[in-house]
Amino acid sequence: MKKEDLEKMLSGIDPPMPEHLTHQEELKIPLLRYKRSSKAGLWLLILPIIIAVTSILKHELAISWGFLNVIGSLIAAVDENPVLTFLIPVIVLGLPCTAMVMNLLAFCHFTTVRERKELLITMKYRPVNIGIVLLSFAILVFFFLPDVLSF
C-alpha cells in the first residue's frame, strides 16, 4: 500500500463517537468534593518536635551545641518574655492538638441515621494519618512529663 493511500484511508476513517455517557454524572460529585488528603498535620509537628528533641539532647544526653542552646535559652525566657509566654504553649500544646484533630477527621467519618437514632463512626485504614495522630499524642504526653521544659 502506498503511503498516500494509507493517509487517505486514515483521513477518511470513521472512529466511534460515544454519546450520552450515563457514567459522567457518577464522577462529578466526588470530583468536586475532592481535596488532596491532608498531611498538613505533619508540618504542624515540626516545631514541637524540635523542642522535644532539644529537651532530650540537652537533658538526657547533656549535649551542648549552638542551635540547641539557642532553643533552650528561648524556652528558658518564657516567663520573662510575654510573646514567648503566649507562643510556647501554643507550640507545645496547640500545634500537636491541631495536628491530632485534623488527622483524626481524615480517617474518622461521622454519619447520623435519624430513623434509628444512631451515630455511625467509620474509621478508615489510613496509616499516614493514624501515624500522625499517634505522634501528636506522644508529643503531648512527652510535654506533660515533669521537668521536660526546664532549661
111 belongs to the binding site for other proteins (CB under 8 A): no
Nearest to 49 by CA among 9, 106, 81, 91: 91
113 belongs to the binding site for other proteins (CB under 8 A): no
Find where cell 516567663 sits.
Answer: 79
1 belongs to the binding site for other proteins (CB under 8 A): yes
Question: Exposed (0-12), middle (13-18) or buried (19+): which is 55, by Cβ within 10 Å?
Answer: buried
Give the start-end residues of each E strand in 2-145. 108-113, 118-123
Part in contact with other proteins (CB under 8 A); list of ranges 29-37, 42-50, 54-62, 131-139 = 29-37
Count of residues engaged in binding other proteins, rule: CB under 8 A: 31
For residue 149, the minimal CB distance to other proteins (Å) is 37
Specify the DSSP class assigned to residue 60. Answer: I
Q: Which residues bind other proteins (CB under 8 A)?
A: 1, 3, 6-7, 9-11, 13-19, 21-24, 26-28, 30-37, 124, 126
